[in-house]
């Protein structure tokens, strides 16, 4: 992230330092610091319960941090929550618009809350933009998952925010809708909007300009996808051939082997200590028609390795 630290303050949408938050004595977010550049799409990755939602909620003033400080669009996240709320669109993980209001009524409600002059007109334009024309009068609760997600995105972009916080926006949405959604996000970013999006999907992570990986409340890695992979110092061999399950069972737990994971018809064998890894796999390299290939670890390999390591450290 050395490139980020040289950019000027005006180019930074989010800057937080040492954020911590506990619930009932359990620390959900620990000493988290990060920066998000304006106009970028920032991916927030991590397993369930890693503190992603809590972090997002602290950024938009829904939760008060126990420790740490930061700014969101130049406003203090502790003191200026009201101002931040005017400039930020937050899409919650669970659909949180009114199920018993129609598409149009929900959007008009949001437009009025933000004090937009022509709430009806703004709602009408947004319905067209998100492709819900013809469904204006349908109750939000009756929409399918994909439509609900579009409506939710429409509602949080309606007041022309400068920053979008999207909490697992594509969970439970089909691949086509997911692709459309990401195209829309890229279009919004191109218009200058900053987007912070949390996700589980590796393909989505790869569509982000920068990513951060968080597990057990700790920020473990951040940067571009290439930077994160490079910094992991993980060596991976891709094995193809027969009886990969047998090989996986034999290799698991051996010295130098930190992770064995099947990927489709091949097997990824990874280790942090390349020489130890190579010593262990040497006897297998020429056996039984397996083909070994020295390859780059995938983002998923890196994340799972980070998660395994963090489990050792923090649990």
Partner 1 sequence: MSVTDAASQNRGVTEPAFGFWRRSFAMLVKEFIQLRRDRVSFAMIVMIPVMQLLLFGYAINTTPRHLPTAVLIQEDSDLARSVLKALENTKYFRFTREVHSVAEFDDLLQSGKVLFGVEIPRGFERAVRRGDRPALLVAADATDPVAAGSALGTLGAVVQTALAHDLHIGDPPAMPFEIRAHARYNPAAESRLNIVPGLVGTILTMTMLIFTALSVTREIERGTMESLLSMPIRPVEVMFGKIIPYVIVGFIQASLIVGIGTLLFGVPILGSVALLAALTTLFITTNLSIGYTFSTIVQNQLQAMQMSMMFFLPSILLSGFMFPFAGMPVWAQYLGEGLPLTHYIRIVRAIMLKGAAPSNLQYDTIALIVLMLVAMTIAVTRFRRTLD
Binding site for partner 1 (CB under 8 A): 57, 60-64, 81-82, 85-86, 88, 90, 92, 94-99, 110, 113-114, 155
Closest CB to partner 1 among 22 and 266? Answer: 22
Nearest to 16 by CA among 196, 250, 168, 191: 196
Closest CB to partner 1 among 113 and 282? Answer: 113
> Do the Cβ atoms of 96 and 119 come closer than 8 Å?
no
Closest CB to partner 1 among 96 and 183? Answer: 96
Sequence-ordered strand ranges (E) for 119-265: 163-167, 194-199, 210-215, 218-223, 235-240, 259-263
> Do the Cβ atoms of 225 and 71 come closer than 8 Å?
no
Q: Judging by DSSP bridges, how do beta strands 210-215 and 235-240 pair with one another?
A: unpaired
Minimum distance from residue 90 beta carbon to partner 1 (Å): 4
Closest CB to partner 1 among 121 and 141? Answer: 141
Q: Say whether 53 sits in a helix, a strand or coil.
A: helix
Sequence-ordered strand ranges (E) for the chain: 12-23, 26-37, 41-45, 67-72, 75-76, 88-91, 163-167, 194-199, 210-215, 218-223, 235-240, 259-263, 266-271, 291-295
Minimum distance from residue 262 beta carbon to partner 1 (Å): 25
Angle of CA points 225, 227, 229, to nearest 5°? 70
* Residue positions counted in the chain: 315
Minimum distance from residue 299 beta carbon to partner 1 (Å): 30
Closest CB to partner 1 among 132 and 281? Answer: 132
Closest CB to partner 1 among 96 and 160? Answer: 96
Minimum distance from residue 47 beta carbon to partner 1 (Å): 21
Closest CB to partner 1 among 92 and 238? Answer: 92
Minimum distance from residue 248 beta carbon to partner 1 (Å): 25
What is the Cα gyration radius of the chain? 22
Hey, how many other C-beta atoms are within 10 angstroms of the C-beta on 293? Answer: 10
Minimum distance from residue 268 beta carbon to partner 1 (Å): 32
> Do the Cβ atoms of 214 and 45 come closer than 8 Å?
yes
Minimum distance from residue 168 beta carbon to partner 1 (Å): 13
């Amino acid at each position: 992230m050395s490139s980020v630290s040289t950019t000027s303050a005006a180019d930074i949408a989010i800057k937080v330092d040492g954020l911590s938050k506990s619930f009932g004595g359990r620390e959900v977010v620990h000493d988290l610091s990060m920066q998000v550049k304006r106009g970028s799409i920032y991916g927030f990755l991590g397993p369930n319960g890693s503190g992603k939602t809590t972090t997002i909620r602290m950024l938009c003033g829904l939760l008060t941090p126990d420790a740490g400080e930061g700014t969101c669009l130049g406003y203090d996240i502790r003191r200026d929550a009201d101002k931040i709320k005017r400039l930020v669109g937050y899409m919650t993980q669970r659909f949180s618009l009114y199920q018993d209001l129609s598409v149009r009524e929900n959007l008009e409600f949001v437009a009025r809350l933000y004090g937009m002059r022509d709430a009806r007109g703004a709602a009408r334009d947004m319905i067209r933009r998100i492709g819900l024309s013809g469904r204006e009068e349908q109750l939000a609760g009756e929409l399918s998952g994909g439509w609900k997600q579009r409506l939710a995105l429409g509602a949080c972009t309606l007041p022309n925010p400068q920053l979008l916080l999207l909490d697992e926006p594509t969970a439970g949405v089909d691949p086509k809708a997911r692709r459309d959604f990401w195209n829309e996000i890229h279009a919004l970013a191109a218009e200058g909007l900053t987007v912070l999006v949390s996700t589980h999907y590796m393909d989505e992570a790869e569509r982000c300009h920068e990513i951060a990986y968080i597990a057990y409340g700790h920020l473990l890695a951040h940067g571009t996808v290439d930077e994160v992979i490079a910094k992991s110092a993980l060596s991976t061999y891709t094995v193809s051939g027969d009886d990969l399950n047998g090989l996986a069972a034999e290799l698991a737990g051996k010295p130098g082997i930190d992770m064995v994971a099947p990927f489709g018809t091949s097997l990824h064998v990874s280790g942090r200590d390349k020489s130890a890894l190579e010593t262990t796999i040497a006897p297998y390299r020429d056996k039984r028609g397996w083909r070994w290939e020295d390859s780059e670890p995938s983002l998923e390999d890196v994340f799972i390795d980070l998660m395994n390591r963090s489990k050792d450290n923090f649990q």
